[in-house]
């Protein structure tokens, strides 16, 4: 059941928040041992909150579509009185005294916070094979990674533990688990959703967004969490809008960019075929397909990697006196960041500005771009390289290759499931829009995936 | 971003990461430096030509507000 379907059932008194919460807890109890998606389960607090929500709904004091719905948040969102680890031993005993802005808004919207999802250590990686809290497993194939860093959120939503889990995305960390787990993952425009109270990784690259079982659910959540927050220096004052698309939106008059360079180079053939089919589907719904060349995405990826390394290392360097508290992959990235000169960081931010200008020109020709979210489907746990086409590629670099640049550009992007590979593993389509075009990309996504995402065989 | 400055230097110098770490006072074990050197060399090879091609009037994508914003002002 999607979030909005559950909300409608609540309004019709066909179910209660207490029943929804009990069902979610039962599913977590049954499936978490084999997926490790949830790091912390707040069963008692959730039951109590659900009871309150039912009382409020009975008094017709509804707070919107999230009221009474069980949800989860990635374990880097601060939660008052509830341990927040960031997937790290550094913070294994950290209990915040306040909520992150996103958590405040979700609670104010009446959501029932049922737990915290597991993640890649410090959000600095894409496997979610966490050395401290255990590997998170993909519900579609538990020998495979769910992607990351919001891997627990992707796995929890795919497994139906919750209909929505919040994630964060610094170099693809919402969209990669969305594609590997076969769910919807929305990375809004930089500044659209407050970063306040979310443990940072890369200050200028971090984005917060939902993973859901339908496109309309992602819009409903964005309606709640979007907006200006004075506590986040980069928060936008641009007015919010209704982000929930119609059930069957039209694509007539929309121009969809088909990249002729970069994005369709070095793909798994199944991914290539599935994403090309998305263009045909959009065209059949009235969209115009516009082939075009995109700016140098490899260069933007390089710039984004350098910025992230410098920002993450600046942030975490004080903790590096205790190297044994980090996983090997994370400490290796942090060491690299410490060796970069300040001039490179500044020049990367200058290049970012120039690339933003080059990319902005695209939006006079198209309304959005279609690309694969990842060139591959979910790799096996422990794999460090994958073969894509004729080449071996580092798993992290392959998984981030088609998504990382979008963080540097701050653009909104949504990943939706679109087909499966020969093994039945989900494939993701990435839809990228111009700044603050969340409503448009969700409308396009809804036209292509109007139903709830498929459920893995569990 | 392409201009004449691109041709000022077309080679990428290999950096000695161990010496840089030592000179910076970073306590990174030698074995760890060996493991990351290849990644850093690859990043250097990709990044240096881009940085060299930067037009001088391009400002970084970092904004500093001298005063705290008040209601009605926009940070964008």
Q: Which of A92, A87, A180 is nearest to A125 (CA)?
A: A87
Residue A207 in any domain: the answer is: yes
- Residue B73 predicted with pLDDT over 50: yes
Q: B46 vs chain A: nearest CA distance in angstroms?
A: 7
Verify whether the Cβ–Cβ distance A303 to B47 is below 8 Å: yes
How is residue B61 written in tokens?
A: 């994508």
Question: What is the distance of C-alpha A106 from the center of its chain?
Answer: 16
From first to last of its 458 residues, what are the pLDDT tens digits of chain A? 999 999 999 999 999 999 999 999 999 999 999 999 999 999 999 999 999 999 999 999 999 999 999 999 999 999 999 999 999 999 999 999 999 999 999 999 999 999 999 999 999 999 999 999 999 999 999 999 999 999 999 999 999 999 999 999 999 999 999 999 999 999 999 999 999 999 999 999 999 999 999 999 999 999 999 999 999 999 999 999 999 999 999 999 999 999 999 999 999 999 999 999 999 999 999 999 999 999 999 999 999 999 999 999 999 999 999 999 999 999 999 999 999 999 999 999 999 999 999 999 999 999 999 999 999 999 999 999 999 988 999 999 999 999 999 999 999 999 999 999 999 999 999 999 999 999 999 999 999 998 999 999 88
Residues in chain B with CB shorter than 8 Å from the CB of A338 are: 21, 24, 26, 28
State the best of B12, B21, B51, B73 to mutate against chain A, taking most chain A CBs within 10 Å: B51
The pLDDT value recorded for residue B3 is 43
Question: What is the distance of C-alpha A305 from the center of its chain?
Answer: 18
Residues in chain B with CB shorter than 8 Å from the CB of A335 are: 26, 28, 32-33, 36
Work out the angle at residue A315's Cα, subtended by the Cα atoms of residues A121 and A145, and round it to the nearest 5 degrees. 20
Residue A41 in any domain: the answer is: no
- Predicted ipTM? 0.90
DSSP state letters, A133-146: TEE--BTTBTTB--
Domain containing B48: what range? 1-76
Confidence label for B6 from pLDDT (cuts 50, 70 and 90): very low
Q: How many domains does chain B have?
A: 1
Domain containing A153: what range? 118-458
Return the H-helix or E-strand segment holding A397.
Answer: helix A395-400
B7-27 mean pLDDT: 80
Residue A138 in any domain: the answer is: yes
Q: Is the peptide bond before A149 cis (omega within 30 degrees of 0)?
A: yes
- Residue A103's SS3 state is helix
Active site residues of A: 74, 149, 173
State the best of A190, A335, A343 to mutate against chain B, taking most chain B CBs within 10 Å: A335
pTM: 0.95
CA A429 – CA A457 distance, rounded (Å): 22
Residue range A293-321, pLDDT digits in tens: 999 999 999 999 999 999 999 999 999 99
Residues in chain A with CB shorter than 8 Å from the CB of B21 are: 338-339
CA A297 – CA A295 distance, rounded (Å): 6
The pLDDT value recorded for residue A425 is 98
CA A308 – CA A200 distance, rounded (Å): 11
- CATH number, domain of A307, equals 3.90.1300.10
Q: Which of A62, A65, A166, A182 is nearest to A114 (CA)?
A: A166
Taking CA–CA distances from B16, the nearest residue in chain A reads A339
Verify whether the Cβ–Cβ distance B60 to A230 is below 8 Å: no
Residue range A387-412, pLDDT digits in tens: 998 899 999 999 999 999 999 999 99
Residues in chain B with CB shorter than 8 Å from the CB of A358 are: 1
Name the one residue in this structure whose structure tokens are 């920002």: A311
Q: B8 vs chain A: nearest CA distance in angstroms?
A: 17
Verify whether the Cβ–Cβ distance B69 to A230 is below 8 Å: yes
- Residue B76 predicted with pLDDT over 50: no
Instruction: Give buried/exposed letters for A178-189 (b at 16+ CB in 10 A, else e).
Output: bbbbbbbbbbbb
CA B42 – CA A112 distance, rounded (Å): 46
- In this complex, the residue of B32, B55, B61 whose CB is nearest that of residue A356 is B61
Q: A216 vs chain B: nearest CA distance in angstroms?
A: 28
State the best of A339, A345, A393, A405 to mutate against chain B, taking most chain B CBs within 10 Å: A339
CB A445 within 8 A of CB A129: no
CB A75 within 8 A of CB A41: no
- In this complex, the residue of B33, B47, B60 whose CB is nearest that of residue A302 is B47
| Mode of pairing for the β-strands spanning A112-117 and A70-74 | parallel
Q: B58 vs chain A: nearest CA distance in angstroms?
A: 6
How is residue A152 written in tokens?
A: 């627990």
- Residue B9 predicted with pLDDT over 80: no
- In this complex, the residue of B32, B58, B65 whose CB is nearest that of residue A335 is B32
Q: Which residues contact A445 (CB under 8 A, 6 or more apart)?
A: A184, A215, A245, A414, A416, A431
Q: How many domains does chain A have?
A: 1
CB A147 within 8 A of CB A428: no
The pLDDT value recorded for residue B7 is 41
Q: Which residues contact A430 (CB under 8 A, 6 or more apart)?
A: A175, A179, A370, A371, A372, A373, A402, A403, A406, A413, A414, A415
The pLDDT value recorded for residue B1 is 47
Q: Which residues contact A327 (CB under 8 A, 6 or more apart)?
A: A121, A130, A131, A132
How is residue A46 written in tokens?
A: 């959730």
Confidence label for B65 from pLDDT (cuts 50, 70 and 90): confident
CA A28 – CA A20 distance, rounded (Å): 12
Taking CA–CA distances from B69, the nearest residue in chain A reads A230
Residues in chain B with CB shorter than 8 Å from the CB of A204 are: 61-62
Verify whether the Cβ–Cβ distance A349 to B62 is below 8 Å: yes
CA A349 – CA A208 distance, rounded (Å): 21
Q: Is A134 left (phi over 0), alpha (psi -120 to 50) or beta?
A: left
Verify whether the Cβ–Cβ distance B60 to A349 is below 8 Å: yes
- In this complex, the residue of A204, A303, A356 whose CB is nearest that of residue B50 is A303
- Residue B72 predicted with pLDDT over 90: no
Q: Which of A13, A112, A41 is nearest to A70 (CA)?
A: A112
Q: Which of A155, A176, A276, A166 is nearest to A222 (CA)?
A: A166
- In this complex, the residue of A236, A336, A346 whose CB is nearest that of residue B60 is A346
- Residue B8 predicted with pLDDT over 80: no
Taking CA–CA distances from B42, the nearest residue in chain A reads A302
Report the DSSP beta bridge partners of residue A141.
Answer: A138
Return the H-helix or E-strand segment holding A259.
Answer: strand A255-259
């Amino acid at each position: 059941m999607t979030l909005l379907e559950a909300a409608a059932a609540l309004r019709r008194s066909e179910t209660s928040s207490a029943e929804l919460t009990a069902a979610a807890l039962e599913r977590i109890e049954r499936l978490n041992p084999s997926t490790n998606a949830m790091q912390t389960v707040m069963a008692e607090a959730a039951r109590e909150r659900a009871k309150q929500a039912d009382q409020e709904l009975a008094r017709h004091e509804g707070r919107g579509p999230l009221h009474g719905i069980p949800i989860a948040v990635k374990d880097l969102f601060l939660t008052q009185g509830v341990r927040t680890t960031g997937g790290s031993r550094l913070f294994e005993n950290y209990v915040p005294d306040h909520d992150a802005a996103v958590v405040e808004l979700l609670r104010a919207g009446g959501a029932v916070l049922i737990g915290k999802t597991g993640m890649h250590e410090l959000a600095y990686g894409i496997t979610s094979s966490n050395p401290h809290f255990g590997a998170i497993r993909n519900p579609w194939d538990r020998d495979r990674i769910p992607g990351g860093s919001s891997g627990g959120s992707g796995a929890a939503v795919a497994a139906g533990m919750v209909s929505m889990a919040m994630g964060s995305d610094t170099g693809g960390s919402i969209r990669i688990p969305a594609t590997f787990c076969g769910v919807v993952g929305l990375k809004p425009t930089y500044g659209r959703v407050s970063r306040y109270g979310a443990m940072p990784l890369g200050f200028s690259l971090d984005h917060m967004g939902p993973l859901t079982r339908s496109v309309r659910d992602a819009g409903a959540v964005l309606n709640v969490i979007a907006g200006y927050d004075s506590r986040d220096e980069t928060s936008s004052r641009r007015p919010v809008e209704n982000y929930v698309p119609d059930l069957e939106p039209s694509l007539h008059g929309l121009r969809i960019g088909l990249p002729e360079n970069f994005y369709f180079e070095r793909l798994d053939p199944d991914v290539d075929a599935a994403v090309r089919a998305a263009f045909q589907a959009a065209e059949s719904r009235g969209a115009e397909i516009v082939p075009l060349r995109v700016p140098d995405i490899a260069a933007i990826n390089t710039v984004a990697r350098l910025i992230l390394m410098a920002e993450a290392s600046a942030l975490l360097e004080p903790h590096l006196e205790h190297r044994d508290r980090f996983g090997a992959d994370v400490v290796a990235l942090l060491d690299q960041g410490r060796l970069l000169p300040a001039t490179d960081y500044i020049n990367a931010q200058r290049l970012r500005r120039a690339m933003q200008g080059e990319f902005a020109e695209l939006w006079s020709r198209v309304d959005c771009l279609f690309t694969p979210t990842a060139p591959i489907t979910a790799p096996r746990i422990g794999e460090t390289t994958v073969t894509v086409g004729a080449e071996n590629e580092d798993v992290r670099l392959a998984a981030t290759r088609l998504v990382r640049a979008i963080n540097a550009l701050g653009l909104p992007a949504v990943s939706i499931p679109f087909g499966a590979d020969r093994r039945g593993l989900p494939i993701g389509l990435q839809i990228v829009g111009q700044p603050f075009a969340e409503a448009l990309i969700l409308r396009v996504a809804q036209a292509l995936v109007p139903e709830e995402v498929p459920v893995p065989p569990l | 971003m392409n201009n004449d400055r691109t041709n000022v230097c077309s080679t990428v110098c290999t950096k000695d990461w161990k010496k840089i770490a030592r000179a910076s006072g970073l306590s990174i074990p030698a074995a760890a430096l060996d493991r990351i050197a290849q990644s850093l060399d690859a990043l250097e090879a990709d990044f240096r030509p881009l940085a060299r091609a930067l037009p001088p009037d391009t400002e970084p994508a970092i904004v500093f507000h001298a005063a705290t914003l008040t209601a009605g002002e926009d940070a964008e």
